[in-house]
Amino acid sequence: MERAYNTATARANFSQLITEAGYAGREAIIQRNERPLAVIIGYEQYLEWRQQAAERATRFSIYDEIRMRNPNVEPEEVEADVAAALDAVHRF
């Protein structure tokens, strides 16, 4: 669950905000002039997001490699190949 705080309130309650983020998973959005500026999250959430970002980067690097090996293939052909592969996987 996230809550929004202006910078003055966040500064005054910093210890409470980091404790709640770390132990209760309560995210705090810090705003300046009613615009989001930063977020306080717990360390476990940070590690999870970092891992997800690394996995996503790995997947996209594979996609980029495939695209580079097949520069003249039409998107429709790729979609048909993916559909055929999915059908084959679902049959088993």
Digits of tens for pLDDT over the chain (92 positions)?
779 999 999 999 999 999 999 999 999 999 999 999 999 999 999 999 999 999 999 988 887 888 788 888 888 888 888 888 888 888 77
C-alpha span between 6 and 36 (Å, rounded): 9
In angstroms, the Cα distances linking 26 to 2, 3, 66, 82 are 6, 8, 40, 40
Q: Residue 61 is encoded by which pair of tokens?
A: 């690097």
Amino acid residing at 91: R
pTM over 0.85? The answer is no
CATH of 2-41, one of 1.10.3720.10, 3.30.200.20, 3.40.1620.10, 3.30.70.100: 3.40.1620.10
Q: Cβ(28)–Cβ(20) under 8 Å?
A: yes
Q: Where are the domains of the chain?
A: 2-41, 45-91
Q: Residue 64 is encoded by which pair of tokens?
A: 């980029």
